[in-house]
Each structure stands twice: as C-alpha cells, then as structure tokens.
Amino acid sequence: MTYASSIVAQAAERPRSGFVDGRGYHRLAMFACLLAFVVVVLGAYTRLSHAGLGCPDWPGCYGHLTVPDSEHAVSEKHYLAQRPLEPEKGWKEMVHRYFAGTLGLVILALAVWAWWRRRVTGQPVWLPTALLGLVVFQALLGMWTVTLQLKPVVVMAHLLGGMTTFVLLGLLAMRTWGSRAPVGPVARRWRGWALAALLVVVGQIALGGWTSSNYAALACPDFPTCQGSWLPDTDFGEAFVLWRGLGVNYEFGVLDHPARTAIHLTHRVGAVVTLLLVGWLAVRLWRDRAAGLQAQGALIGVLLLSQVGLGIANVVLHLPLVVAVAHNAVAALLLLSLVRLGYTLWQPRLS
C-alpha cells in the first residue's frame, strides 16, 4: 500500500467528528444571520418609502420577474388597472424579494445539511427545521402583504416574522460556535429579568410595526408632548382593531387622526417601559462583576439608548427615511443582544 492510499484509508476509518463540516456549518449560519439582517433592513426601507405595493402581484412584478421599464412593456395589462406602474417603487420591492428569496434558499441548505449531519454530536436539527417552516410562512405573509393591500395586522406579523428569523439564525450561529462557556449561580439569578426584558422588547417591536403600518408615526409631531398637549384627543376603540374585512386598501392608512394618536401614544408608553426595565437590567449587569456579564450589559445599554434616541429623532425630525430605517435595524440588534444574553444565562452551570 502506498503512502497516499494509506492516508486515504486512515481518513475513511476515522470517526466523523464533524469539525470541518461543523466549522463550515457555523459560517453558513453566520452568513444567513447577516443576510436576514439585510432583509429586515430592506423590508423596513421598502415599507417606509411607501413601496410596499410597488408591485401589485406576487412573486413577480406586473407579471414579470423583473420590473418593466414602462407600462408599454407590461404584458399582462390587467395589473395596470390595479395600480399604475412606478418602476422606482417596483425595484425597491423586487430587490427586497430577491434578497428574501436568497435567504430562503440558504435556510433550506442549513436544514438539509443539519439532517445530513444529525448524528454529529452537538448538531442542531430542529432549530434549522423550524427556521425552514418559518421562512415558508414569511413568504406567505409577504404575499398577503401585497394581495391584502398592506393590511396592518399582516404587515406587523411580517415584521415580527422577519425579526424572529434573524434572531433564530443568530441563535443557530451561537449554538454551532463550538465550546459553550458555563455560567455560575450568580449569573443565573438574572434569568427571570432577562426573559422579562426580551418579552417587553418583542411587545415594543410589535407596537412599532402597528404604528408604522397604520401610518401613525407622525400623529404626534412634537416631543415630549403630543400636539402641544399631554392629553390629546385619542380614540383607543378604533386604534387596535386587528381585522377590518377584505377589499380595503390600507396604503397611507385608513384611521382618523385620534385613532392614530392613540397608537402613537401607546408606542411612546411602551418605549418608557422598555427604557426603564431593559435599562435597569443593563446597568445591573454592568455593575455585577461577579456575574461576568458586564460586556453584554454594556452592549444592551448602548443599543437601548441608541434606539430611544432614534425614536425621538423620528418625531422631532419628522420621520427622515434614514433615521426610520435605522430605528428598525437597531431594534433587531437589541432583540438579538437579549437573545444572546438568554442563551448565555441558560448555559450549563459551573460545578
């Protein structure tokens, strides 16, 4: 037997440790997480630039896989009866779809690869499988966003689905990183507070999606008062009706001003609750040297303050697009930072 054939034989007999494949899997998970973040930001940009109905059909645009450059180029003219062609808005929508479709293929690869490596110790299987199911549901929500003409409950669900996809991919990347650093009993006492902070941030993101999808972000054009008053005219009865039937075009909103004001004020109250709870947790983690979570506490604090600052800037600067998109991006990063904290706190306990 030659030297080369001996090496091949030894490699074939060697047990599958999964080291090389595991490293590649982790890199793919990291890439998918980054791509999901881009999709979230592009989705916010599409929504906030009023391009959510840039294409009246799905998954194409006016019956094409790309955006027609003129109405003359539209082969299926019935789409023009639904909405006049605006190529700039159409391209914003289609670029978002191209990236989302690519993300779906990457998640499919992660799921298939996970099942192929399912016998490798430490390989997550059900998490990438759940992600595959989630991205399919996200595609349906994307379709319904168009076919139901920006129905707020669908737009909000689509936003939450995108955020969930992003943080679960982040969690998958964490789980495939390799060795897990255990934490001591001092750090584990923050579990309940970390969970509460995570739930509050999720609720605030949902409120933000409801505010945006109902075009209520500028219902209060001043800060800290609203319309020059601490108690402006509001209509909470109409503000949170989730379903208003079919056949309604929700572009630019259908609510009257008092209902939009109620939504905006609720989002502001949620921001105060989030600032107090998550801010308190961040400070306590940063000061608790024994827990060893100072860096995570500092990161959460910085992201939280940035998010509050961006929210205020949206009001006083009258919702500039770059600030509004950044507000969505930092919300996603804050959510991921809290998921990372939870993942750390649920590590095996130090003996």
Q: Per-residue pLDDT tens for 234-274?
A: 999 999 999 988 888 998 889 999 999 999 999 999 999 99
Percent of the chain with pLDDT over 70: 91
Cα 163 from Cα 229, distance rounded (Å): 34
Q: Is 13 a catalytic residue?
A: no
Q: pLDDT band at residue 180, thresholds of 50, 70 and 90?
A: low
Q: For all residues of the chain together, what is the average pLDDT?
A: 90
* pLDDT (0 to 100) of residue 21: 55
Contacts of residue 335, defined as CB under 8 A and 6 or more positions apart, other chains included, come to 163, 166, 167, 198, 201, 202, 205
Domain residue extents for the chain: 20-178, 183-351
Catalytic one of 13, 76, 88, 93: 93
Q: For the residues 319-326, what does the mean pLDDT come to?
A: 96
Band of residue 23 on the pLDDT scale cut at 50, 70, 90: confident
Q: Whole-model pTM?
A: 0.89
Q: Under 8 Å CB-to-CB from 217, ≥6 apart: which residues?
A: 211, 264, 314, 315, 319, 324
> How does residue 18 score in pLDDT terms, banded at 50, 70 and 90?
very low
102-117 pLDDT per residue, tens? 999 999 999 999 999 8
- 212 dihedral zone (left: phi>0; alpha: psi -120 to 50; beta): alpha
Check residue 44 and give its pLDDT: 96
